[in-house]
Amino acid sequence: MKAAIFSDLHDNKPNLDLFLNWVKKNKIDSLIFCGDLANVDTLKYLAESFSKKIYLVGGNADSFYLSDTKKFKNVI
């Protein structure tokens, strides 16, 4: 099993796209996000772009609620 760990995205979707391309190329099985994804739109984009498990820890810059993560089956 291969996992990728990342954090402090702060809604930077161009960097998220670069990261997701790297994830696909390297056949990553799960993601661990350590905070500061930022808003619920970026959470939705991430969850829809990566169908495998995403382990998410909230950060001080995140503006979504834990209940928002329940909308996505792959976000834990």
For residue 20, pLDDT over 90 is answered with: yes
Q: Where are the alpha helices (DSSP H) in 6-73?
A: 13-25, 40-49, 66-69
CA distance 72 to 76: 9
Confidence of residue 48 (pLDDT cuts 50, 70, 90): very high
Query: Whole-prediction pTM value?
Result: 0.91
For residue 64, pLDDT over 90 is answered with: no
CA distance 51 to 44: 11
Residue with token string 């350590």 = 34
Confidence of residue 65 (pLDDT cuts 50, 70, 90): confident
CA distance 71 to 1: 25
For residue 36, pLDDT over 90 is answered with: yes
